Structure 1
C-alpha cells in the first residue's frame, strides 16, 4: 500500500486523504464532527459514532456483562483463572480449560512412555 498523502507538519504519510485530514486535525485541534445531542465535538467520524452509541442510545457494545468483564481484563491485565499445576493464569475459564488440555496431553504422554519402559 502506497502512502502518498503526507502531513505538512510532521511528514507522516497516509494511504488516504481522509486519514491525512484526520491526522492534521489532531495537530490543529480542529474537531469537525459535532454531536447533535450535546456540545461535544470529535476529530473523526468514528469517534463521534462511538460517543453517540455510548452516550445517546440504549445500545451497549457488549450484549453480556461477562464479555464486558473479559474485555476490561484485556486492559487491566487481570488473570483470575489460575492453573494449579503451573504458573499460567488466564482471563477467562475457557482459556484455562484450553491450557489444562496441555497438561492432560503431557500426562498421557508420560504414562505411555512409562509403560514402554516397563
Structure 2
C-alpha cells in the first residue's frame, strides 16, 4: 500500500465520479463529498461543512471581519 504513493498507483476508484485514490481511507474521505451530509454547522451563519477543518477556517473569516457575536 505504501508503495502505491511512490509509484502513483491508485487502485481505489470512486464509483460516482471516477476519481482514483492510492488507499481506501482517501477514497472514504472523498465519498463524504458526494453525500448530502454536512455535519459541521457555523453557529454564526447558515453555512454547513463536510469537514470540521473547513468550519474552523470559516470561523476565522468571521473573526477577521469582526463578525463574532457576543453570544459566543
In the alignment, structure 1 segments of 5+ residues that lack a partner are 1-20, 82-91, 98-118
Task: Give the Cα separation in 2 of the matches to 1:70 and 1:57.
Answer: 17
* Cα distance change, pair 29–45 in 1 and its aligned pair in 2 (3 A): same
Structure 1: which 4+ aligned runs deviate by more than 4 Å?
A: 67-70
Q: What's the TM-score, normalizing by structure 2?
A: 0.58
In the alignment, structure 2 segments of 5+ residues that lack a partner are none
Q: 1:17-32 to 2 correspondence within 5 Å? A: 21=1, 23-32=2-11
Q: 1:30-49 to 2 correspondence within 5 Å? A: 30-49=9-28
Aligned-CA RMSD value: 3.0
Q: What's the TM-score, normalizing by structure 1?
A: 0.38
Larger CA Rg, structure 1 vs 2: 1
Deviation at 1:25, TM superposition (A): 0.6
Q: How big is each residue's C-alpha offset from its partner over 1:34-54, in whole Å with a ceiling of 9 and x where there is no partner? A: 011111111111111111111
